[in-house]
Structure 1
Amino acid sequence: MAESFNEHMESLIRDKLNHEKIKLWLPPYTTELGEKGEIPKEMVERFSTDLGLCEDVILTVCEHLRCHALEKLAARKKFQQSGIASLKIKLSGKLPDEMTKCQKLLSLEVGLQQHGQVLKNEISKHSGLDPHRLKIISGGRVIEDDQSLLEQNVKHGSQVMAICLSETETEARLQQQQMDKFNQTKQAAELLAGTTQSSDGDDYYLQIADQSGKSLNLPKEERQALTLAMTLHEKGRAALKKKEYAEALLLLLEADKQFSKCRADILNAVDNYAIVCLDIVWCYLCLKNIRELPNAESRLRSCEECFHRSYGQNLERLTMVKGGTGVELALFVRLHLLQAILAFHQNRMNDSRNLLEKAELELGKLHIDSDKMTELMTMGFTQHEARLGLRACQNNVTRAVAHITQKKQEKREIREKEKEERKQNKLAKRFGKTAAGQMIDMTKYDQLVSMGFPKGACSEALKQSNNNLDLALQVLEEHPEYLSLPDPPVEKIAIPDEMIAQVVSMGFDPQVARTALERFGLNVTSALDELIKYGGVLPENLHSPSTRRPHSGSSSQKTAEQIQREKEAMERISDDIPDEEDDYLDLTLEEEKEFLAEYKALVESSTTLSSTYKDGVDLQGTFKKLGWGGSAGNL
């Protein structure tokens, strides 16, 4: 808390200097030789009166800011002449216990044409940390080792965060395993992002849904980008829940990079991007680096705009879409708390106080009676269901039971509808497209079949009429030859070589074995029975549609190896992908309570800061905490 006091004092005086356009690096404050000059007594007295700080503190902070300004000017001049940039490095993560606060702050010089690995080596050289355990973050993105700093938007004067991922050799091995796991997760997500769902729903496939839980039908490229982003986000959220903040931040920033590839109107259909922005800022806060996040304000602004767009300015749209606002309020608690903390560090005390009060009020509305939660769980509801149900119904158990039951029924109906749609798509893909290039309307197809027309005739009539039912009936009337068309064909299946070998080993021809396996949906027993029955020659009209199993809705058939790779990829990430769509709303809010209490105390203390320092309390100790050295007597 003392550190925040010091930051607050420095911020007050810096803002005052900027407002009055006072340049401490120029005379009379600095001599022509760059040495300490004179600060007018009238200015010190005025600052003391206006800011409520004692004159010794004003002098100390001004000298600190003057020296800092000269350092920046010298660094800028050097950069202009030589291209050597100065960077401010903040070390974070698993650092040695003996490392002091000053040792965690570095000023390094490096050419921006150098690769990220060079910067990492420089940080290692000055900090003594293993470069293999460092991850560098600047401007809200992870710096890649094999690209130049300039290409990655690192600039002169940039604030850089260096996360140390482990401390001991054992931890280093564990961390390497975690990084391997991260890379595997990314590769698995990329694989699944490129996987199209099969018509029978058997592929390993990640579903994208809107706020009501309904699946979104997106073009392939956009679905791939969004799927990869959302998968990495879920993995990052899982790490956040385990309080593995360094790993979480890497995953979240990677998700952010993928989200940036999506069109704005797609991101507007889901609130995932807003939440990933919220999670990134939260992660920085938990890593004690909220001041070092250069785009915290813009991220929180984007998050707030998205929430207002998705839920309404006063959550009115949320009430209309979902019938309530209780559980989503948890997101606003975190948003307003982060905005309040950011406002505090920007010396906007009134804004910080108001936002803290708003977050506290929202927290109060989300308070859960522990006895009632236990009561719901004894009824067989999960902790997740109980917590969200009670929040949505303001701790009313009866209403919560009805709410949970209704939500489960709605989800079940959506799943059944999606299952039926997949079934219809499966059939439509067998029939081909209409003259206008559309899929056949299966509802109208079923209508025609129910009238007694053959399936082949129905599909052909709808193709000719572009799904117009009346025109299709006219086509059938004018073209009676369509009535003799065969049923639409079923797609062929990719047959594993070992299955063919198994049938061939019984003495049958390889091509006949393949045909039999295709007709009987890879059922080796049925294929052998029919081959034996017909003496190794299958009749042309023999088929078994009930057992035939088209594997993929895509134009290319998948091999057994591809299917296995997708299965392994899904297994790698499935543990951290929640079954419930609203899992992101299930926040315990315990950490939020702790940060709220801490910053309420800091804001309250800032209001009494003036009287504390006017009374001259412990100036010597204050100077030491500031880390500037010296004392009031030798300023």
Structure 2
Amino acid sequence: MDSLEHEDLLIKLRAKLNEEKIKLWESPYISDGGEISEALKELANKYSTVLNVENDSVLQGLHELQIHSIERSKANEEFKETGCATLRLKVTMGGQKPETIKILKKLNIQGDELINSIAELLKVDKNRIKLIYNGKMITHSSSLETQGVKNGAQLLALVMTETLEQIQKEDKIYNEMKSTLDDATLLTDYVGDLADDEEYMKLEDQSGQTVELPPAEKRALLIGLALHERGRAAAQNHDYSLALVLLLEADRQLNECRSSLLNTVDNCAVLQLDIAWCYLCLQSLSSANDAATRLTRAEKAFRISYGEDHQRLIALKGTNANERVLFMRLYLLQGIVAYHQNKREEARALLAKAETELNYLKVDEAAVGALTELGWTDAQARRGLRAARGPERAH
């Protein structure tokens, strides 16, 4: 059984155990000597029949879950007695297989102390560590408790690689991000001082209507959009750790913009898709709940922005062809999340919807070739063919 099949089995076993309210850390499933109990063997035999999986694989999976549950029970007792919380960290380093480590810390310490401890444990520079919990970056100057971290929490630890080339790349992006922040601040301050009839910079919604924003919101919006683009560029280069850091910062900036503008454009919805995509590529299963929340938010935003059945989008552009790629991504990600939540029928339906959208997006490769010979780029050709739904109308 490979790793994916094993993970699938664990998902099914967790669901069965929760459904039947079975506690593997209690009698009769545990034994004094530490060996596998007869009760656990009987349970494995039962689930083997129900799930149509080999008995040995089921027993191995149950034993693995039992060990985790016993460790969790001991951690809860230790937290009650000492106040030390057990934190589980999924460590992702470039080019290496992710590993899970545990660390004991009181929750009243600042984020900086936790990051320092992780850096010492991993023998890396603390500046290369980014901690993410529940969709937010752990800040250095606030306590873990005030940031919502609890005993037994699972955090994602992103460790940037230390090659000279990568360091130079990260320094460049950091400087670009800092420059973006500075430039956006200067720009928005300048625009705020301009007369009302000045045409230097205007923000428009999807219908082309000018939207007036307070300076603080305009600054947050510009910075958020700039960071989103930086994050997408990093993701396109398959640097998902760096992309996630940039995208979460973009999300934080955009959340400071409380204007109704965000309900009329799709930028924030696309940002949620990009963050969920990074979670997937980083194999961060502990972020599944945050991904589900973000995808629900994205779906709602698309509905508001495009209208039910895309009628607003079609009225503005005459077609919804190219935006359907966003719905393909949405359904795909929702299907993957539902799968890992053991909602198999829901996952199957969502993945089928994603496949339908994907099939709609396919175009005639010969037509793409003909258009590129006329000077179009490959991307332009595909967008044109999708919008026209055929080569004869793409002029």
Query: Is the TM-score greater than 0.5?
Result: yes
1:283 aligned residue: 278
Residues 119-268 of structure 1 aligned to structure 2 (within 5 Å):
119-196=114-191, 198-199=194-195, 201=198, 203=200, 205=201, 207-263=202-258, 265-268=260-263
Structure 1 runs of 4+ aligned residues shifted over 4 Å read: 31-37, 199-203, 377-384
Q: How far did residue 166 of structure 1 move?
A: 1.7
CA contact (8 A) 2:213 2:259 kept: no
Change (3 A) 1:372 1:36: closer
Aligned to 2:72: 72
Q: Is the 8 A contact 2:79 2:85 kept in 1?
A: yes
Aligned length: 393
Structure 2 counterpart of 1:400 = 394
Could you tell me how far apart the structure 2 residues matched to 1:220 and 1:169 are?
Answer: 39
Retained in 1: the 8 A contact 2:131–2:155?
A: yes
Shift of 1:36: 5.5
1:297 aligns with 2:288: no
Distance (Å, rounded) in 2 between the aligned partners of 1:52 and 1:4: 17
Q: Which has the higher contact order (CA 8 A, sep 6+)?
A: 1
Q: Note if 1:322 corresponds to 2:317.
A: yes
Query: Does residue 338 of the first structure (1) align with residue 333 of the second (2)?
Result: yes
Q: Alpha-carbon deviations, 1:254-310, whole Å to 9, x = none?
A: 111122223263321222111110111112222332554440001111111111222
Q: CA deviation at 1:314?
A: 2.4
Q: Distance in 2 between matches of 1:82 and 1:187?
A: 45
Structure 1 residue 16: deviation in Å?
Answer: 0.8
For residues 270 and 9 of structure 1, what CA distance do their matches in structure 2 show? 41
Structure 1 residues 291 and 79: CA distance shift in structure 2, 3 A:
closer
In structure 2, how many angstroms separate the alpha carbons of the residues matched to 1:35 and 1:42?
14
The residue aligned with 2:306 is 311
Residues 137-170 of structure 1 deviation map (CA, whole Å, 9 limit, x = unaligned): 1111122223322232222222211112123245
- Find the aligned partners of 1:178 and 1:141 in 2 and give their Cα distance: 20
Which residue does the alignment assign to 1:3?
3
The 3-state SS of whatever aligns with 1:22 is: coil
Residue 364 (1) aligns with residue 351 (2):
no
Question: What amino acid is aligned across from residue 138 of structure 1 in structure 2?
Answer: Y
Q: Following TM superposition, by how much is the alpha carbon of 1:173 offset from its aligned partner in structure 2, in angstroms?
A: 4.2
SS at match of 1:276: helix
Aligned mates of 1:165, 1:42 — CA distance in 2: 46
1:50 maps to what in 2?
Answer: 50
Structure 2 CA distance, aligned partners of 1:266 and 1:235?
22
Identity between Structure 1 and Structure 2 (%): 38
Q: How far off is 1:362 after superposition? A: 1.1
Q: Aligned AA for 1:125?
A: E
* Aligned-residue offset at 1:29: 1.2
Question: Alignment partner of 1:39: what SS?
Answer: helix
Say if 1:57 and 1:381 are closer, same or farther in 2 by CA, change over 3 A. closer
**Contact 2:87–2:102 at 8 Å: present in 1 too?**
yes
- Offset, 1:388: 1.9
Q: Distance in 1 between matches of 2:344 and 2:13?
A: 15
SS for the counterpart of 1:132 is: helix
CA distance in 2, matches of 1:286, 1:390: 30
Residue 33 of structure 1 and its aligned partner are, at CA, apart by 8.7
**Amino acid paired to 1:345:** H
Distance 1:333 1:69 in 2: 37
Deviation track 1:188-220 (CA, whole Å, cap 9, x = no partner) reads 3333344426457575x4x43212344322233
Question: Which amino acid in structure 2 is aligned with residue 295 of structure 1?
Answer: D
Q: How does 1:15-34 map to 2 (within 5 A)?
A: 15-31=15-31
Residue number in structure 2 paired with 1:112: 107
For residue 381 of structure 1, report the CA deviation from its aligned partner: 4.6
Distance 1:125 1:40, change over 3 A: closer
Instruction: Decide whether aligned partners of structure 1 residues 170 and 373 sit closer, same or farther in structure 2, where only a CA change above 3 A counts.
Output: closer
Deviation track 1:104-147 (CA, whole Å, cap 9, x = no partner) reads 21111112222222222222222233322221111111222233
How far does residue 335 in structure 1 lie from its aligned partner after superposition? 0.7
From the CA coordinates, give the structure whose radius of gyration is larger: 1
Mapped partners of 2:23, 2:217: distance in 1: 51
Partners of 2:119 and 2:126 within 8 A in 1: yes
Q: Which one of the candidate residues 375, 379, 383 is aligned to 2:370?
A: 375
1:608-632 deviations in whole A, cap 9, x for unaligned? xxxxxxxxxxxxxxxxxxxxxxxxx
Measure how far apart 1:32 and its partner are: 7.1
* Counterpart-to-counterpart distance in 2, 1:268 and 1:202: 24
Q: 2:41 touches 2:59 (CA, 8 Å); kept in 1?
A: no
Q: Where in structure 2 are the equivalents of 1:437-476 lying within 5 Å?
A: none
Would you say the 8 A contact 2:75–2:86 is kept in 1? yes
Report 1:571-590 matches (<5 A): none
Specify the SS of the correspondent of 1:314.
helix
Answer yes or no: is the 8 Å Cα contact 1:85–1:111 preserved in 2: yes
For 1:324, what is the secondary structure of its paired residue?
coil
User: What are the ranges of 5 or more consecutive residues in structure 2 without an aligned counterpart?
Assistant: none
Contact 2:180–2:223 (CA<8 Å) still a contact in 1? no
Alignment of structure 1 residues 596-607 onto 2, 5 Å: none
Contact 1:236–1:249 (8 Å) recurs in 2? yes
User: How far did residue 23 of structure 1 move?
Assistant: 0.9
Q: Secondary structure at the match of 2:191?
A: coil
Contact 1:94 1:166 in 2 (8 A): yes
SS of the residue aligned with 2:158?
strand
* Secondary structure of 1:166 counterpart: coil
Q: How does 1:518-597 map to 2 (within 5 A)?
A: none
After TM superposition, the score normalised by the length of structure 2 is 0.89
